[in-house]
């Protein structure tokens, strides 16, 4: 049975999606610079341990066939976002350091202490973001992993 636009409105209303980040490109330059020059540090490992414990305990998460992800050389992982925790579970599941490309809207002041030393870099949606591709190329060029 087909539904009309009005009926769909009554079923589930969604808030408008915001794709463009109002902050200028220069706001994100420090994240790109950090990821291009250095690998993630100990903060990555602290967050990974906490995430593993959380995933194993509350979600009963387990990884299968993680050995199929090549250990040497560049790798691109593409989780399919069932939740906001997918990227964390991806890093926990393969037990190798993964650097994450995340939408720029996630880069708030409260998360800087995790994102910057953890090797996360932004992609600005809704614009042609060359910096994200340059950073991704730098990570892959040194044999890193990107999700």
d(CA 44, CA 29): 20
pLDDT at residue 37, rounded to an integer: 94
In b/e form, how buried is each residue of 59-74, taking b as 16+ CB within 10 angstroms? eebeeeeeeebeeeee
Is residue 5 scored above 90 in pLDDT?
no
Number of domains in the chain: 1
pLDDT at position 146, please?
A: 93
Residue 91 pLDDT: 79
Stronger pLDDT, 112 or 28, i.e. the higher one? 28
Q: What is the per-residue pLDDT for 10?
A: 63
pLDDT for res 141: 96
In 3D space, the residue among 29, 41, 37 whose CA is nearest the CA of residue 142 turns out to be 37
Strand ranges (E), 25-89: 75-76
> What pTM was estimated for this model as a whole?
0.81
Question: Percentage of the chain with pLDDT > 90?
Answer: 36
Four-residue CA torsion sign, 30, 35, 36, 40: positive
Q: CB neighbours of 99 closer than 8 A, spacing ≥ 6? A: 35, 39, 40, 119, 120, 121, 139, 144, 145, 146, 147
- What percentage of the chain exceeds 70 in pLDDT? 88
* Residue 14 confidence (pLDDT): 65
User: In which domain, by residue range, is 70 found?
Assistant: 5-146
pLDDT > 60? residue 1: no
The pLDDT of residue 71: 82
Interval 100-129: pLDDT, tens: 999 898 888 888 888 888 899 999 988 889
Instruction: For residue 75, give the 3-state DSSP assignment.
Output: strand
pLDDT mean over 15-39:
88
Residue of 18 and 123 predicted with greater confidence: 123
Give the separation between CA 81 and CA 94, rounded to whole angstroms: 17
């Amino acid at each position: 049975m087909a539904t009309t636009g009005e009926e769909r409105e009554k079923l589930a209303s969604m808030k408008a999606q915001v794709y463009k980040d109002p902050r200028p490109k220069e706001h994100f330059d420090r994240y790109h610079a950090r990821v291009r020059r250095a690998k993630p540090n100990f903060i990555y490992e602290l967050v990974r341990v906490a995430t593993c414990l959380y995933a194993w305990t509350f979600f009963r998460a387990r990884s299968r066939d993680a050995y199929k992800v090549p250990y040497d050389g560049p790798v691109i992982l593409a989780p399919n976002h069932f939740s906001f925790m997918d990227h964390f579970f991806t890093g926990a599941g393969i037990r190798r350091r993964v650097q994450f490309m995340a939408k720029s809207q996630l880069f708030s002041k409260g998360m800087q202490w995790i994102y910057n030393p953890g090797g996360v870099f932004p992609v600005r949606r809704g614009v042609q973001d060359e910096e994200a591709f340059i950073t991704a190329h730098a990570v892959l060029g040194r044999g890193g992993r990107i999700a």
